[in-house]
């Protein structure tokens, strides 16, 4: 299969999707995708959607995650699943596909795990399948659809972990941030399952606080991970929100030491914030709802 894309100088670039990635700009269903080589790492590619960084992939190295927030998600999910689920039989759903960096990672870490990916843009999903070494079904299945609508169709108790990493520009669409949405996620999880959300927010942190308030209405336990400057309201950034009916470790729990060390060990050190801190963080905030 061969198509035409635009190369970085504006001319025509021949793209052989089935044969792997080719640098260039591509028309997709929701706008434009730009694929660019990472000149600092052989085999590495950066994917931008409508000008915004979406994914980074190193072909042949699925466990190499370039984005710090993805490493935070990986650390937390690794910690939780190893203690509460059978990793070899894990059922994991990823809302938001991009280049499928996280499904590639977890499928490689836990052979036998099964991953479903919900991606809004069908053309992007087609390109990504051809460009990168994403495991085939049944290991990684990609479903084209709008994340809220698809989540509402999930069967009860049908998955162990749900990860939300959906953005329209720099923000998560509102329908994926409401109490009603969280209830659909909750009922779709197996008892004690884990919900993880990548929340992008400004220095005021109003969105993160409202999401935490909503999660506290639905799940028994809520925690978060972020770097200190973000938590202190100094800049726009990512906060990883965690929710489950299984307790998270207390900040002083010796069992959490390994998780803490891993979060502090990256290029952007992050802190795990336990339930007590997280509930104080959301105190006084109003949860979002579909109506209102």
Distance CA 54, CA 126 (A): 16
pLDDT above 60 for 32: yes
Confidence of residue 130 (pLDDT cuts 50, 70, 90): very high
Contact in structure between 161 and 196 (CB atoms under 8 Å):
yes
Cβ neighbourhood burial of 209 (10 Å; 0-12, 13-18, 19+): buried
**Per-residue burial over 18-41, b = 16 or more CB atoms within 10 Å of its CB, e = otherwise:** eeebbebbbebeeeebbbbeeeee
Confidence of residue 18 (pLDDT cuts 50, 70, 90): low
Average pLDDT (53-82) is 95
Residue 1: the pLDDT is 33
- The number of residues in the chain equals 292
- Tell me: the pLDDT tens digits for 169-185? 778 999 999 999 999 99
Residue 194: the pLDDT is 98
pLDDT above 50 for 5: no
Parse the chain into domains and list their residue ranges: 2-58, 68-282
Q: Contacts for 255-262 with beta carbons within 8 Å, 24 or more apart?
A: 256/79, 258/79, 259/75, 259/76, 259/79, 262/75
Question: Whose structure tokens read 């509402």?
Answer: 152
In CATH terms, is domain 68-282 a member of 3.40.50.12280? no
The mean of the pLDDT values for the chain is: 90
Question: Whose structure tokens read 């941030």?
Answer: 177
Taking alpha carbons only, the member of 64, 72, 42, 69 closest to residue 54 is 69
Q: Describe the crossing of helices 206-218 and 275-282 by its angle, rounded to 10 degrees.
A: 120
**Backbone φ, ψ for residue 120 (5° rounding):** -65, -40
Contact in structure between 118 and 145 (CB atoms under 8 Å):
yes
Residue 17: the pLDDT is 53
Cβ neighbourhood burial of 2 (10 Å; 0-12, 13-18, 19+): exposed
Average pLDDT (247-254) is 83
What torsion, rounded to 10 degrees, do the Cα atoms 242, 246, 252, 253 define?
-130
pLDDT above 90 for 78: yes
pTM for the model: 0.92
- Tell me: the pLDDT tens digits for 176-209? 999 999 999 999 999 999 999 999 888 889 999 9
């Amino acid at each position: 299969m061969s198509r035409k894309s635009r190369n970085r100088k504006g001319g025509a670039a021949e793209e052989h999707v089935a044969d792997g990635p080719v640098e260039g700009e591509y028309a997709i269903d929701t706008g434009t995708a730009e694929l660019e080589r990472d000149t600092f790492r052989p085999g590495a590619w950066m994917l931008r959607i409508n000008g915004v960084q979406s994914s980074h992939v190193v072909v042949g190295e699925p466990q190499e995650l370039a984005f710090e927030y993805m490493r935070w998600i990986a650390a937390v999910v690794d910690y939780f699943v190893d203690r509460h689920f059978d990793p070899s039989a894990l059922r994991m759903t990823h809302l938001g596909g991009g280049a499928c960096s996280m499904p590639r990672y977890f499928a490689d870490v836990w052979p036998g795990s099964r991953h479903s990916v919900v991606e809004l843009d069908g053309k992007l999903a087609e390109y990504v399948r051809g460009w990168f070494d994403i495991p085939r079904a049944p290991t990684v299945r990609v479903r084209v659809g709008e994340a809220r609508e698809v989540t509402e169709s999930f069967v009860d108790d049908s998955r162990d972990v749900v990860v939300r990493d959906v953005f329209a520009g720099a923000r998560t669409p509102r329908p994926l941030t409401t109490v009603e949405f969280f209830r659909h996620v909750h009922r779709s999880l197996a008892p004690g399952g884990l919900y993880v959300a990548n929340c992008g927010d400004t220095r005021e942190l109003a969105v993160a606080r409202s999401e935490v308030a909503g999660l506290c209405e639905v799940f028994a336990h809520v925690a978060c991970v972020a770097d200190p400057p973000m938590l202190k309201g100094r800049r726009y950034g990512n906060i990883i929100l965690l929710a489950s009916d299984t307790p998270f470790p207390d900040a002083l729990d010796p069992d959490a030491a390994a998780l803490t060390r891993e979060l502090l060990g990256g290029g952007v050190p992050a802190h795990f914030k336990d339930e007590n801190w997280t509930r104080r963080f959301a105190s006084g905030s109003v949860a979002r709802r579909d109506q209102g």
